[in-house]
Every structure is written in C-alpha cells, then in structure tokens.
Amino acid sequence: MTTKIYCISGLGADEKVFTNLSVNGCSLQYVPWLKPQKKETIVSYATRMAAQIPDPSPVILGVSFGGMMGIEIAKLIQVKQLYLISSIKSVAELPSWMRIVGKMKLNKLLPTRSYKYTEKVDNNRLGVSTQEERDMVRAYRRNADPQYLEWAINEVVNWKNNWQPDHIIHIHGDRDKIFPIKKLQNIHVIPEGTHMMIFNRAAEIGAHIEKTLGEKAK
C-alpha cells in the first residue's frame, strides 16, 4: 500500500522544492500555503493547514518554516510521523539573531520586497550554488504574497515552541546558514548540506526517509 507523505515547503516556496525528492513506496502530496487572515495566530493558521490533510494520522514532511508548521499541526491532530528538513524543533534552536529581531520587532521595519538589494547575501545563506537554483529562488521572491511573507517571517522570529511529537525525525545539513547546526539536537546530518538540500541533496534525504519510515525517533 502506498504511503502518502504530506509535504509543506519553506517560507515563500512552493512544490517545486520537492521536484527531485522521491521516496520508494510513497506518494508526495503538496500542502499549499494559505493567505493569512488579518492578525491570524499561528494556531488558527495551523488549523486551516491541517484541514487540507484528509488522512487522520498522516506522515508530514516540512522544510524550514514548513517544519515549524508541521509541529504546530501535530499539536492539533495525531501525526503518524513528522520529518523536519532544514528546520528547527523549538525556540531553543532558533538562532539568537532571530530572537533579537523578534523581540525588537525589527522585522516590521524591513520591506518584504527588498530582495533586489539582498539577493546575493540571501542566496549565500540559502546555499544556492547553480543557475537553476538562482532562477528558482528568484521566482519565489518575485511571486510570493507580501502579506504571507510578512506574517510568516513574524511567526518565525517570534516562535516560542517547546513541544514536539514523539514520532519526529530531523534531517539537517552541517552547512546550513539559516539554522546553524550548532544549536540543534537529535538530528540526522547530511554532510555539506545547505538550506537548499531538499533540492540538491534530495536523493540522500529520500534514502533516509525510506530507512526510517514507520520508526519512532530515537
């Protein structure tokens, strides 16, 4: 029987990040981001995201902010297994500079369309290394809904989570500059993996998912 894995992309991204991911015996089902309602809480938003998942006990895979959203969804419904890719599990794993940005509300001062001036720096932090990746990330930035981006960035830098489900497997690259590995615990490391590894190291990620599917995290 084919297992469905419900995939949630990172901030501002879409299903294209999963283009190279394949897991034998599984079908990947993309869960699209929704337009945030005015002053919507992350709990309310997660409730609407969960409504897009028909399986009563799903396997969820979340990349970056998608992993954080996967944890919020797991607070609301029973999750069979949760995979975090290039993400974090709790406020303790949130980089210090992000906490400072959230506390001082600095994210409110930065225009979401400033990517034209920060593209090279942002690409370096993401680990973008090919023209295909540059084109894909540029398209995300141009097409992302500003209202969603403002809401999502605010939720990332102000995330206060200290809970995680039992069946969680965290896969992370040791070259990730968005969520540096030094603050993370209980992870499966992809050597030389960057924040873009769901796209450019998909074979290794898929192999580890195949190996651990159905297992309880250790």
Q: What type of residue is 156?
A: V
pLDDT of residue 189: 98
pLDDT score of 120: 86
Low-confidence ranges of the chain (pLDDT < 50): 217-218
The owner of tokens 């039992």 is 166
Domains along the sequence of the chain with CATH: 3-212 (3.40.50.1820)
Q: In degrees, to the nearest 5, what angle opens at C-alpha 175 toward C-alphas 205 and 98? A: 105
pLDDT in tens, 41-97: 999 999 999 999 999 999 999 999 999 999 999 999 999 999 999 999 999 999 999
- Please give the pLDDT value at position 115: 55
Are residues 35 and 148 in contact, defined by beta-carbon separation less than 8 angstroms? yes
- Residue 61 dihedral angles phi and psi, to the nearest 5°: -125, 120
d(CA 130, CA 73): 33
Are 88 and 67 in contact by the 8 Å Cβ rule? The answer is: yes
Q: What is the pLDDT of residue 141?
A: 84
CA–CA dist 10, 33 (Å, integer): 9
